[in-house]
């Protein structure tokens, strides 16, 4: 069974991917309830943490019920990253994850995120120092390389392992690809097949059906799957994958009642965590998926995503249950 440091995981664990403005404590808790084995926070700026920027610091919050949880940090300055590690440790996460995969311009232009894939010695050095700084297990999330001409992920993963990381998650795209095209899991399998690798190698990118997860395990031989977009507004995805892996059969999709209940709890937890205004605003992105596939739903979705008052959103949930309670999801 794979392990991250001393954290024992089940066979072929499912990890919730770090996702900005998505992987917050309420959403992570819902995913954990539905079978995610490890959850990660969204990326947190090391510079922001040092400045004590409220926006970064609130991202350190974790609930006991979501453990094991990894806090993900990003940056390219050694000093800032080490100070960030000290700050992160005070929140008592189970894992510290380093983001070497974010493709957005404002991050890569500072050599952070996937930007560091152009400077592998710096990537290795930063990782080595972070591992030395903390007693927590350190994991890395990265991409295949900067572009298709510079894919050296087998060598990179081995070097990161040699300086002490406890697991690696690899998104099967290059930085240049951003989110275009299909994720290529073959180079991730090459990392796994490297005889010198002994840490878990988790695959990421386009795991959007239970079949895809099984393929990642059986055809590519990876140790687990990290799941991002397929879980947005659909935390049941983890349970569905696990059920399929165990039985070879598809679980029936959640009923309308279960969906409304999850949306209600999600909104309530968000309000409890970050207050009425932000709670209402930041839960909006999930509703489309919670209620996907219902015909003539626009009027209700509009209420959910335009109301500023949570009472109106809760009322919209009640209306939906009353009107579409018997809807059969495909
Ligand atoms: C909205 C959104 C936000 C993301 N934010 C982060 C992030 O903060 N840190 C990170 O390492 N990756 C981030 N990613 C990338 C995902 O973790 C993941 O690598 C990518 O979505 C591919 O996996 P998927 O096909 O399962 O979604 C983000 C992706 C999305 C869609």
Ligand 1 centroid, distance to 16 Cα (angstroms): 10
- Asked if residues 30 and 262 have their Cβ atoms less than 8 Å apart, the reply is yes
Please tell me if the CB atom of residue 285 comes closer than 6 angstroms to any atom of ligand 1: no
Q: Which residue's CA lies nearest to atom 2 of ligand 1?
A: 19
Neighbour tally for 186: CB within 10 Å: 10
232: CA distance to ligand 1 center in Å?
A: 11
**Whose CA is closest to atom 21 on ligand 1?**
228
**Nearby residues of 31 by Cβ (< 8 Å), 6 or more positions away:** 16, 39, 231, 235, 238
Distance 18 CA to ligand 1 centre (A): 6
- Percentage of the residues of the chain whose pLDDT score is greater than 90: 98
By most ligand atoms within 8 Å of CB, the mutation choice from 17, 142, 180, 225 for ligand 1 is 17
Rounded average pLDDT over 275-298: 94
pLDDT at 330: 85
Residue 310 alpha carbon to ligand 1 centre in Å? 28
Give kind and range of the element (H or E) at residue 51: none
Summarised one tens digit per residue, pLDDT across range 217-274 is 999 999 999 999 999 999 999 999 999 999 999 999 999 999 999 999 999 999 999 9
DSSP-assigned letter for residue 323: H
Cα-to-centroid distance, 43 and ligand 1 (Å): 10
Closest to 294 (Cα-Cα) out of 263, 320, 267? 320
Share of the chain above pLDDT 70, in %: 100
Question: Which phi and psi (to 5°) does residue 43 adopt?
Answer: -70, 145
Q: Whose CA is nearest to atom 18 of ligand 1?
A: 228
pLDDT of residue 15: 98
Phi, psi at 140, each rounded to 5°: -125, 140
Q: Whose CA is nearest to atom 15 of ligand 1?
A: 19
Stretch 135-147: mean pLDDT: 98
State whether the Cα torsion 288-247-9-153 is positive or negative.
negative
Average pLDDT value for residue range 186-213: 98
Cα 162 from Cα 128, distance rounded (Å): 9
* Residue 10 reports pLDDT greater than 90: yes
Q: Which atom of ligand 1 is nearest to the CA of 17?
A: 17
Q: Largest Cα–Cα distance of the chain, in whole Å?
A: 59
Indicate whether residue 209 lines ligand 1 (CB < 6 A).
no
Give the number of the atom of ligand 1 that is nearest the alpha carbon of residue 204.
23
pTM of the model: 0.97
Helix ranges (DSSP H) in the chain: 25-33, 46-50, 54-57, 78-90, 105-108, 120-133, 153-162, 186-193, 210-218, 237-247, 256-274, 276-290, 298-306, 310-324
- Interval 53-74: pLDDT, tens: 988 999 999 999 999 999 999 9
- For residue 326, pLDDT over 90 is answered with yes
Residue 4 near residue 29, CB atoms below 8 Å: no
102 is catalytic: yes
Task: Please determine, for residue 196, whether its predicted confidence score (pLDDT) is greater than 90.
Answer: yes
Give the number of the atom of ligand 1 that is nearest the alpha carbon of residue 101. 11
d(CA 158, CA 168): 10
**Among protein residues, the one whose CA lies closest to atom 7 of ligand 1:** 19
- Give bridge partners of residue 40 from the DSSP assignment: 70
**pLDDT confidence of 106, banded at 50, 70, 90?**
very high
CA distances from 49 to 84, 112, 134, 138 (A): 6, 15, 17, 18
- Those residues whose C-beta lies under 8 Å from the C-beta of residue 319, and which sit 6 or more positions away, are 300, 303
């Amino acid at each position: 069974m794979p392990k991250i440091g001393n954290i024992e995981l089940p066979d072929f664990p499912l990890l919730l991917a770090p996702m900005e403005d998505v992987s917050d404590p309420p959403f992570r808790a819902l995913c954990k309830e539905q079978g995610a084995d490890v959850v990660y926070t969204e990326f947190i700026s090391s510079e922001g943490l040092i400045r004590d920027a409220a926006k970064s610091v609130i991202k350190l919050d974790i609930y006991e019920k979501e453990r094991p949880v990894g806090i993900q940090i990003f940056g390219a300055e050694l000093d800032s990253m080490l100070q960030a590690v000290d700050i992160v440790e005070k929140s008592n996460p189970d894992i510290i994850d380093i983001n070497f995969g974010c493709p957005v311009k404002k991050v890569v232009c500072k050599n952070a995120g996937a930007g560091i894939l152009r400077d592998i010695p710096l990537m290795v050095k930063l990782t080595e120092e972070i591992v030395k700084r903390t007693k927590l297990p350190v994991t890395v999330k990265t991409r295949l390389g900067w572009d298709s001409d510079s894919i050296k992920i087998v060598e990179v993963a081995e070097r990161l392992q040699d300086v002490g990381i406890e697991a690696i998650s690899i998104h099967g795209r290059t930085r240049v690809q951003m989110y275009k095209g299909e994720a290529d899991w073959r180079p991730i399998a090459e990392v796994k097949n490297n005889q010198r690798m002994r840490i878990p190698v988790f695959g990421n990118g386009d795991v959007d059906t239970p079949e895809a997860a099984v393929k990642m395990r059986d055809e590519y031989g990876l140790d687990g799957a990290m799941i991002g977009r397929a879980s947005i507004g659909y935390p049941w995805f983890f349970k569905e994958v696990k059920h399929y892996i165990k039985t070879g059969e598809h679980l029936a999709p959640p009923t309308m009642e279960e969906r409304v209940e999850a949306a209600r709890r999600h909104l309530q937890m968000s309000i409890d965590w970050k207050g009425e205004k932000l709670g209402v605003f930041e839960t909006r992105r999930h509703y489309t998926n919670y209620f996907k596939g219902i015909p003539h739903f626009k009027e209700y979705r509009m209420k959910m995503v335009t109301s500023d008052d949570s009472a109106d959103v809760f009322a919209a949930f009640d209306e939906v249950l009353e009107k579409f309670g018997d809807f059969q999801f495909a």
